[in-house]
């Protein structure tokens, strides 16, 4: 009987050790976003968790308390120390993150980024919208709202977010070529990840520029802040605010015409893609031209720059906003 009990105990300990080793081998996936606690990244977190559960991947999100690149560096350092197998990042500052992402790769950690095409230190970056297509779609809608003339201002999340600035470049270039009577006020303002800063900057610009007729705000909080400024100054129908934003957060402003619309991709879907790609890469699978990947469709990777870019624009307008908000976006 004693021998039997010892044998059972040894087998049990062996099984536990095997399961622990298997769990460790499966690896963890940590995704560091720009800022925690806002609807856009709440939706992304839901996608990360749901896809992780479906694939059996231990995946989680880290959301810094402010859109500070230094906080992202610290969060990535923590993930390196934890020994995660994959680090995902939505960078606030591509250059600031280069050293720490390179460090992660040197330690054998797979690095995936989003909203940062060509990110140095990343194995792959994926985008659900091309920079040109996204910027031009907003520019065309702004030109339509403004009647092709007048002054407009541009907000971005920060002056060091590559993708936001690429959208702004595309929009400004399109308007310059196709609507020469539309004039850019200043250059661009790095406030669109903070609703309060976007609001105060919009109020200042409205006061200083009596002919201002539009805002292009690239960053999820930019349209919210600018829309609030439009309401305060009673400029609805006179100044138009366009850009990507959380439908749930901005629905009331949109229905009141303080925000005139915009385009987005689904952040929940982006969260799912982080985990899908992480799972494939952890298994040692190579991404190939023509692969069908859930959340991205058929891909055509840019192997030189390590980018996977698809166009899956979702319009945000009075006809779509309620359904988008009901999805938790």
User: Helices 222-232 and 247-255 sit at what angle, rounded to 10 degrees?
Assistant: 30
Separation between Cα atoms, residue 279 and residue 258, nearest integer Å: 42
User: Over pLDDT 70: what percentage of the chain?
Assistant: 92
pLDDT confidence tier of residue 26, bands split at 50, 70 and 90:
low
What does the pLDDT read at residue 5? 40
Separation between Cα atoms, residue 189 and residue 329, nearest integer Å: 25
Instruction: Kindly provide the b/e burial profile for residues 64-102, where b requires at least 16 CB atoms within 10 angstroms of the residue's own CB.
Output: beebbbebbbebbeebbeeebbbbbbbbbbbeebeebbe
C-beta of residue 278 within 8 angstroms of C-beta of residue 112: yes
86-95, 157-166, 174-183: least confidently modelled range: 157-166
Please give the average per-residue pLDDT across 106-128, as a whole number. 96
What does the pLDDT read at residue 255? 98
User: Over pLDDT 90: what percentage of the chain?
Assistant: 85
For each of the domains in the chain, give its residue range(s) and CATH number, in order of start: 29-128+266-312 (3.40.50.2300), 131-264 (3.40.50.2300)
pLDDT confidence tier of residue 56, bands split at 50, 70 and 90:
very high
CA 53 to mean position of chain CA atoms = 21
Please give the average per-residue pLDDT across 118-135, as a whole number. 95
Q: Are strands 150-156 and 182-184 parallel, antiparallel or unpaired?
A: parallel
Residue 14 has pLDDT above 60, yes or no: no
Q: How many CA atoms lie within 13 A of 118 on its CB side?
A: 9
- Phi–psi pair at 225, nearest 5 degrees: -65, -45
3-state secondary structure of 222: helix
Q: What is the mean pLDDT of the chain?
A: 91
CA-closest candidate to residue 88, choices 279, 221, 244: 279
> What own/partner pairs with CB < 8 Å and gap ≥ 24 does 286-295 have?
287/124, 295/269, 295/270
pLDDT confidence tier of residue 312, bands split at 50, 70 and 90:
confident
Cα distances (Å, whole numbers) of residue 32 to 25, 73, 232, 252: 22, 9, 35, 29
Residue 221 has pLDDT above 70, yes or no: yes
Residue 177 has pLDDT above 50, yes or no: yes
């Amino acid at each position: 009987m004693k021998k039997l009990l010892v044998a059972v105990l040894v087998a049990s300990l062996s099984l536990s050790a095997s399961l622990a080793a298997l769990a460790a081998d499966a690896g963890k996936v940590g995704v560091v976003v720009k800022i925690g606690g806002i609807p856009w990244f709440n939706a992304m977190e839901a996608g990360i968790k749901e896809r992780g559960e479906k694939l059996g991947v231990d995946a989680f999100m880290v959301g810094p308390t402010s859109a500070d690149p230094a906080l992202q560096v610290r969060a990535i350092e923590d993930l390196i120390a934890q020994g995660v197998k994959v680090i995902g990042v939505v960078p606030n500052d591509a250059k600031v993150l280069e050293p720490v992402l390179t460090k992660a790769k040197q330690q054998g950690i797979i690095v995936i980024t989003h909203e940062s095409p060509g990110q140095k230190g990343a194995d792959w970056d994926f985008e659900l919208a091309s920079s040109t297509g996204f910027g031009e779609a907003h520019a065309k809608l702004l030109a339509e709202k403004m009647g092709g003339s007048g002054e407009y201002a541009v907000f971005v999340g920060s002056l060091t977010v590559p993708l936001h600035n690429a959208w702004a470049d595309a929009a400004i270039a399109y308007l310059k070529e196709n609507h020469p009577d539309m004039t850019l006020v200043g250059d661009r303002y790095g406030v669109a990840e903070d609703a309060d800063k976007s609001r105060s900057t919009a109020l200042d610009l409205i006061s200083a520029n009596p002919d201002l007729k539009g805002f292009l705000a690239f960053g999820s909080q930019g349209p919210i802040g600018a829309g609030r400024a439009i309401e305060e100054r009673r400029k609805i129908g006179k100044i138009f605010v366009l850009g990507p934003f959380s439908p749930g957060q901005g629905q009331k402003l949109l229905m009141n015409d303080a925000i005139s619309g915009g385009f987005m991709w689904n952040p929940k879907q982006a969260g799912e893609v982080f985990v899908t790609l992480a799972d494939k890469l952890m298994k040692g699978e190579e991404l190939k031209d023509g692969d069908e990947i859930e959340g991205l469709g058929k891909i055509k990777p840019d192997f030189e720059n390590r980018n996977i870019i698809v166009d899956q624009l979702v319009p945000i307008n009075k006809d779509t906003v309620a359904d988008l908000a009901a999805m938790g976006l």
